[in-house]
Structure 1
Amino acid sequence: MTPFCISVPASSGNVGPGFDSTGLALGLYLHLYVEDANSLLFYSHGESIPTEDHFIWNIAESIAKKHDITLPACKIQEVNEIPLARGLGSSASAIVAGIELANQLGNLHLTPEQKLQYGTEIEGHPDNIAPSIYGGLIISTVFAEEIEHIQLKDIDVDIVVYIPNVELKTSISRNCLPDSYKRDYAAKASAISNLTIAALYSKDYKLAGKLMEEDLFHEPFRSELIPNFSYIREEAKKNGAYGTILSGAGPTMLSVTSKGNGPMLRQYMSNLPLLADYQIEYIPIDYQGISIQD
């Protein structure tokens, strides 16, 4: 076996009002370094992990089983830059990594569409899976057994993220959402979502940022779970942010700002005493998606 490395980007789901249908790939990565070995060995940040307990390997084996193959012995070293349970798509990245691991070890020659199908079946919806596979901004939805998606690659903005030192499980954040919306409310929420995507496609980023903050599907219900939600939004806007939103289900927040302003916005926000415990980063948008290096 020739050694290889799988790299999968993080992702930010929803992007404001694109609830469960829009995701953005970000330049934080989960890496798997794979090489030949006489027995199966899995290390996570240098620590040996039993493979039967490892989520990524279990995903890989489930994909191999679908194709009636047995994966060969190998040594896998995981290095993960994506914070867990912070709203940056860590579970989706792990799922995609497991699918690609099976693809490479089993010579399955899976198409991106097949990877998206498998990932969506496991995750439940494609909004984080799709950008981790394709890169860029992806709008996607499931029709019967088909997943339709559109990719937007040329987004001329900078991204700054605010990662608090607390976890928030997606299940908890999802449980605070209503089971249904009244027709007029849903129509307005849908219109905001539609116009946000149109603004992004037309490169009207000021309008897009404004509309992102007007989401009605999830942010009004989740904001109380998020530390410093209003404070971060207000301070970021004072310093050039077009809009600041939850990243996925939170608790990470994400600002969209003009190209070139990201490092300055990051510096300003990092100096705020209330955010002293936050990891605040200027992160580029990833346009490649999953990649394999020798």
Structure 2
Amino acid sequence: MRILIPATSANLGPGFDSLGLSLGLFNEVSITKQSILSISVKGEGENRANVKKNNTFVNIFNDVFLSLTGENENFKFAFDNKIPFSRGLGSSSSVVVGAIAAAYHMAGFRVEKQLVLNRALTYENHPDNITPAVFGGFTASIVVKNEVHTQKAEILDSIKAVVVIPDKPMSTNESRSKLPKKISLKDAVSNLSCSSFLSACFMNKDYDNLKYAAYDRIHEYLRMKTLPELFKVRDVAYENGALMSTLSGSGSSFLNIAYRDSSSKLARTLALKFPNFRILELEFDNNGFKIEPKSKK
């Protein structure tokens, strides 16, 4: 089998731990049953020894496969990774979702997306990244009694993502440790208002008004302080036609949304202004993970 799992962008400014969307950038894993375990890695992480020695995808896959079949089997895993590590683009969520879905498929079970999503909570306890990796599109999610409840909106092809990927990573755990333990009522109301309005904009395909909603008063400023260039990234993006510009997940990547007819210009401008950063112009993904039969060569 072959499975493709999309990158995701979470929080989207005010939607802390609840809002996310799926990007057209994919990790691909091919899996074949064989007599001995084999792991190969191409792309992101190919030069990291621990990615092979203690591969999280393989560990989760084996746990789930054993729970479904009661058997320990050996497989060949071939990874082609496109999603950068520790850049706020859902690399860990893609691993969790992909491993669970692949284990169900290889164990001979029907791969039900809601079941995969709920099981993913065992490994990733916030739904903002795992949900769009499962369903695609824009998602607003809550967790009730260990189950994820989601509202999804498909994203029109009239808009694209322009993602700025700095040359420095950000640790999710480290950045989360810097967040305030208490927030004011004013800040809470601001985030509730903006996240609600932002969700309505995506649901109604009203992209013109995203700029009024993409403001956070809980986490973005504290996280962006560790990489001050990100404030300039946001300013340049809005000055050059971005509909929305927010920290992607916990960073360090920055998500910019623009209409298709202006996205390339925005990407070129950002590349010129920030030559040390990687700029990706991406489609949005409305499908989530996708399982295909492994191609024969």
TM-score grouping bracket, smaller chain normalisation: over 0.9
- Give the one of 29, 34, 43 matched to 1:32: 29
Q: Residue 14 and residue 50 in structure 1: after superposition, are their counterparts in 2 closer, same or farther (change >3 A)?
A: closer
Aligned residue in 1 for 2:291: 292
RMSD: 1.9
Deviates more, 1:166-175 or 1:259-268: 259-268
The 2-side partners of 1:94 and 1:263 are apart by 30
Aligned residue in 1 for 2:162: 160
* Residue 180 in structure 1 maps to residue 182 in structure 2: yes
Structure 1 residues 206-221: aligned runs within 5 Å: 206-212=208-214, 214-221=215-222
Aligned residue in 1 for 2:10: 13
Shift in Å, 1:260: 2.3
Shift in Å, 1:28: 1.1
Structure 1 residues 95-134: aligned runs within 5 Å: 95-134=96-135
The 1-side partners of 2:98 and 2:147 are apart by 22
The 1-side partners of 2:164 and 2:52 are apart by 33
For residues 108-140 of structure 1, give each alpha carbon's deviation from its aligned partner in whole angstroms, at most 9, with x where no partner exists.
224111100111221011110111111111111
Aligned residue in 1 for 2:255: 254
Shift in Å, 1:68: 4.5
TM value normalised by structure 1: 0.92
Q: Is the 8 A contact 2:155 2:284 kept in 1?
A: no
Shift in Å, 1:166: 0.9
Q: Residue 261 and residue 144 in structure 1: after superposition, are their counterparts in 2 closer, same or farther (change >3 A)?
A: same
Q: Is the 8 A contact 2:40 2:52 kept in 1?
A: no
The 2-side partners of 1:264 and 1:50 are apart by 36
Aligned residue in 1 for 2:277: 278
TM value normalised by structure 2: 0.91
Q: Residue 154 and residue 28 in structure 1: after superposition, are their counterparts in 2 closer, same or farther (change >3 A)?
A: closer
Shift in Å, 1:222: 1.6
Task: Read off the aligned partner of 1:32 and give its amino acid letter.
Answer: V
SS across alignment from 2:267 = helix
Counting aligned pairs with the same residue, the percent is 28
The alignment of Structure 1 onto Structure 2 pairs a total of residues equal to 288
Aligned residue in 1 for 2:205: 203
The 2-side partners of 1:50 and 1:235 are apart by 36
Alignment gaps of 5+ in structure 1: none
Q: Is the 8 A contact 2:140 2:151 kept in 1?
A: yes
For residues 80-126 of structure 1, give each alpha carbon's deviation from its aligned partner in whole angstroms, at most 9, with x where no partner exists.
00000000000000111111221122112241111001112210111
The 2-side partners of 1:50 and 1:129 are apart by 21
Alignment gaps of 5+ in structure 2: none
The 1-side partners of 2:9 and 2:160 are apart by 14
Aligned residue in 2 for 1:192: 194
Task: Read off the aligned partner of 1:30 and give its amino acid letter.
Answer: N
Q: Is the 8 A contact 1:270 1:276 kept in 2?
A: yes
